[in-house]
Amino acid sequence: MHDPAPPILASEWLNTPAPLALETLRGRVVAVECFQMLCPGCVSHGLPQAQRIAQTFRAEDVVVIGLHCVFEHHDAQGPVSLAAFLHEYRIRFPVAVDMVGTDGPLPQTMARYALEGTPTLLLIDRSGRLRARHFGSVPDLALGADIMALVREGMNAD
């Protein structure tokens, strides 16, 4: 059994005309790239991989979302900085700013998902269940296979 993915609690969205909600994305696989703009591993590996996911899969099969989970250097990674960062790095997919936590440095979605740090890639299936949580780096070949396995669930073979 897999748990339903908790909702994304965002104080702001960038790169999208309107906020997204996971429950409106049912029927599609969702890849959520949890990152911080000043996290070196996110910049060198996590975000480029998320961009490759967006370029490789069809939009009707896979939605890519960024989640900016600021848990350190809050002053340096605010929304103005994030917008400049996304512009410079040519990141076009929708990005949610994780809601500031009420007790402690962890933002709310990050805490709810019990993330260990950034980058973390979450995979949510067509039914809205959390199916994978990769902290750190995951090889492209295995990831491509994992995403396609989710895409193919509940579909007939060719």
C-beta of 6 vs 78, nearer to its own copies: 78
Closer residue to its own copies (CB): 9 or 49: 49
Instruction: Count residues binding its own copies (CB under 8 A).
Output: 40
Residue 109 has a CB neighbour count (10 Å cut-off) of: 24
Q: Is 19 left (phi over 0), alpha (psi -120 to 50) or beta?
A: beta
Which one of 6, 15, 52, 112 is in contact with its own copies (CB under 8 A)? Answer: 52
Residues 6+ apart with CB under 8 A from 135: 115, 116, 117, 119, 120
User: Could you tell me which stretch among 12-20, 23-31, 47-55, 97-105 binds its own copies (CB under 8 A)?
Assistant: 47-55
3-class SS letters over 33-62? EEECCCCHHHHHHHHHHHHHHHHHCCCCCE
Query: Binding residue for its own copies (CB under 8 A) from 6, 15, 73, 101?
Result: 73
Name which position in 1, 59, 80, 114 contacts its own copies (CB under 8 A). 80
* Cα–Cα distance measured from residue 98 to residue 110, given in angstroms and rounded to the nearest whole number: 7
Note the residues at the interface with its own copies (CB under 8 A): 38-40, 43-44, 49, 52-53, 56-57, 73, 75-77, 80-81, 83-85, 87-89, 139-149, 151-155, 157-158
